[in-house]
Amino acid sequence: MSLPEFSSSTTGEEAADALAGEIQGKNVLITGTSVGGIGFETARVIAKHANLVVITGYSAERLKVAEDTIKKDFPSANIRSLVLDLSSLAAIRKAAAEVNSYSEPLHVLINNAAAPIAPFELTVDNLERQTATDHIGPFLFTKLLAPKLLASTSSSGSYTPRVVFLSSTGHAFIPGFDLSQVVGKPDPATYHPFNVYSHVKAANVLMAIELSRCSGGKIKAYSLCPGLIFTNIHQKEQSIEIMQAAGFIDGDKKPSTEKFDVWKSIPQGATTTVVAAFDPRLNDHAGAYLSNGAEANKERAAHSSDPATAEKLWTATEEIVGEKFTF
């Protein structure tokens, strides 16, 4: 049975239903799964078919709400909650150790979580919060879970584990990639929230390329733009003023159509993640960038397509976390 072509109007559930044969039997971990976000919707539609979906977040209470909400729609869904704070290297190591103790294999890791676009703030590790949560944290988490992902590879070679990085068209809003913006010493005097956002989203694209290369194809990694979507992250108090000044949110704290008229719904926003995680048509396209439910490498900025830049970023991030990510 041939698969349909997915588009900007396809919902995540429609994509998951079409890819049900690929999802069945798989164990999937998704970061950032609070109700009202893309990660939650992604977890919800995948849980309809998967063997196990691990949902993560920094609040056990919010994870319980997410699990209960998913099971209300799909009572037979197998959901497991994992407390994970991607802004803390120690918390990441603790959470990864818990995942590595699971008896089940891990087939897919979806790095969905992100920090709000907000004023300058340092983490417990003295890292800038957006950079820590959106790039450095996922890098370390992926590194620590890589052996478990690799263990899920089928002996016949018919299945290769996947890692998905949620990026954004915002990765292309900068003229070039300045490595120091991501791995340099945080400086509140030069901090601009959207500049950092663009750089960490560019880093997500570069990591998909480099992970696919470094693993020698043993892990297939993809990056993607889910689309412009009004989610719970836009409603965080620390980011509302910034988002309003940029024209994304209006005076009523709702999505603005004055500057942006291409808003997607949250169900539509989950589609490209589902495709990146399971569509077999991507098997020979590791490292690809996706948008609107399909491969979209032509939309990937030149600075986020450079293998040399990807390698430098990888090495610099290894130095920050204090661990080599090798295969």
Backbone angles phi, psi at 152, to 5 degrees: -85, -5
**CB-based contact 193:242 (threshold 8 Å):** yes
Spatial CA neighbour of 124 closest among 97, 90, 83: 90
Active-site position among 58, 102, 159, 191: 191
Q: Position 1: which residue type?
A: M
Q: Where are any strands of DSSP class E within the chain? A: 27-30, 52-57, 79-83, 108-111, 162-166, 220-225, 228-229, 263-264, 289-291, 294-295
Closest CA to 92 of 156, 144, 169, 129: 144
For residue 109, give the amino acid letter: L
Amino acid code (one letter) for 270: A
Question: Does the annotation count 197 as an active-site position?
Answer: no
Contacting residues for 263 by C-beta, under 8 A, at least 6 apart = 228, 229, 230, 255, 257
Q: Are 202 and 171 in contact (CB under 8 A)?
A: yes
Quote the CA–CA distance of 41 and 89 in Å, as a whole number: 27
- Comparing C-alpha atoms, which of 221, 202, 117 is closest to residue 164? 221
What is d(CA 314, CA 309) in angstroms, rounded to the nearest whole number?
9
- Scanning 184-299, the segments in alpha helix (DSSP H) are 193-214, 237-245, 266-269, 271-278
- Burial class for 92, CB neighbours closer than 10 Å (0-12, 13-18, 19+): buried
| Separation between Cα atoms, residue 52 and residue 47, nearest integer Å | 7
Q: Which residues are catalytic?
A: 191
